[in-house]
Homo-oligomer: A and B are copies of this chain.
Amino acid sequence: MTDTATPGRALPHPEREQIRLESVLHALSDPMRLQIVRELAAREAELSCSQFELPVTKSTTTHHFRVLRESGVIRQVYRGTAKMNGLRRDDLDVLFPGLLDSLLAAAGLQAGRLGADG
């Protein structure tokens, strides 16, 4: 938590206890969002929205990041004009032990099979 977050622009996140498995699965069932989560996990760092090269417009990108945040998969913080995104690995690991890793492994295996960027 480097304290560089921009004050006065808080974003609503579900508490850990409010995160629902169904919502997480729904969030990850979209290829675009699964890709985002995969990149976020690969580089173990927070990334701004614009660092993802997604084949959709900015409004659609905003939409996907919001779904991920509202389902509890990622945490978003404003840092100046950028919006940084980080996986909520700690919360997810407590709620659903091993799930995130299995999910990422599965996504990696499938990407390899399909000849994508695995």
Contact = CB atoms under 8 A, between A and B. Distances in A.
Interface of A: 17, 20-23, 25-26, 28-31, 34, 95-99, 101-103, 105-107, 109-110, 113
Contacts of A110: 20-21, 95-96
Nearest to A106: B96
Q: Number of copies of this chain in the oligomer?
A: 2
B29 A25 contact: yes
Contacts of A26: 25-26, 29
Nearest to A98: B102
A34 B23 CA distance: 12
A29 B33 CA distance: 15
For A17, A20, A21, which residue has the most chain B Cβ atoms within 10 angstroms?
A21
